[in-house]
Amino acid sequence: ILLGSYDHVIEYNEIFRFAMVSNDMGGIYCYDRYFQFGGHVIRHNYVHSSPDGDAIYFDHDHPDITVFGNIVNLRSTGK
C-alpha cells in the first residue's frame, strides 16, 4: 500500500509476501513530498511473511500519523 497526501485510514488488511527482491520498501509505504501529508491512521493490520521488507515504512518524516494495533510477523513463511 503506497500512502501519501492527507487523512487516509488504513485498517483491517492482511499484507504478506512483499519485498521479495528488494529491501527498500514496506507493506505499508508512506511517501510524499515534505509538508504535503498528514492525518493518517494505520491500525489493526496484519503484516507478515516478507524476507526483506519493513511492515510500515516511512520514507520521509511524516508528522501527524497514528499507528496502533497492528500485528507484525515478518519472519513467518506463510506456509
pLDDT tens for 42-76 read 999 999 988 888 899 887 777 788 999 999 998 75
pLDDT-wise least confident of 8-12, 13-17, 41-45, 49-53: 49-53
Q: Which pTM value belongs to this model?
A: 0.84
Q: What is the dihedral of CA 61, 65, 70, 76, to 10 degrees?
A: -20
Do residues 78 and 16 touch, judged by C-beta distance below 8 A? Answer: yes
Decide: 43 and 11 in contact? Cβ < 8 Å: yes
Residue 10 has pLDDT above 90, yes or no: yes
Measured between alpha carbons, how far is 68 from 19 in angstroms, rounded to an integer?
A: 22
